[in-house]
Amino acid sequence: MEITRFDQAPRYDAPGHFDMRGLRLQGFEVSSAEFAWTGLSHFLPGGGAEMDASSLEKIYVVIKGEVTITLGSGEKHVLSKLDSCYIPGGESRAITNEGNNVATMLVIMPYQEQS
């Protein structure tokens, strides 16, 4: 078993994200997890992620606050504490914290396939 203590979780910067602090909880440099990695994203008020599509599927779980997920079609969904969503590979999405409190979200993603 490999444990990552929250106070020792390393920071990571996610491309296309703004006013966000990401912490690596599992995978990459912190554990030997091979099927997926897990991060924790803290979004400041007004923070988020630009509209983007990835070939990788992802799962978001809101732990605190609210985030608005906007799909490429323009459809918007507000996720609150313990709400979650699955975004399939290839689907465009943007993330925004439209509130005045910090929003915290768990992110679970597979690794990028190496060619």
pLDDT in tens, 58-67: 999 999 999 9
Cβ neighbors of 86 (< 8 A, separation 6 or more) are: 57, 58, 59
Residue 115 domain-assigned?
no
Residue 1, in any domain of the structure:
no
- Quote the distance between the C-alpha of residue 74 and its chain's center: 20
The pLDDT tens digits of the residues spanning 26-60 come to 999 999 999 999 999 999 999 999 999 999 999 99
Could you read off the pLDDT of 97-109 as tens digits, one per residue?
999 999 999 999 9
Read off the pLDDT band of 114 (50, 70, 90): low
Q: What is the pLDDT averaged over residues 14-22?
A: 97
Contacts of residue 8, defined as CB under 8 A and 6 or more positions apart, other chains included, come to: none
Secondary-structure percent of the chain, ordered helix, strand, coil, rounded to 5: 5, 50, 45
For the whole model, what pTM was predicted?
0.93
Q: What CATH number corresponds to the domain at position 17? A: 2.60.120.10
The reply to whether 77 falls in a domain is yes
Which residues constitute the domain of residue 84?
Answer: 10-109
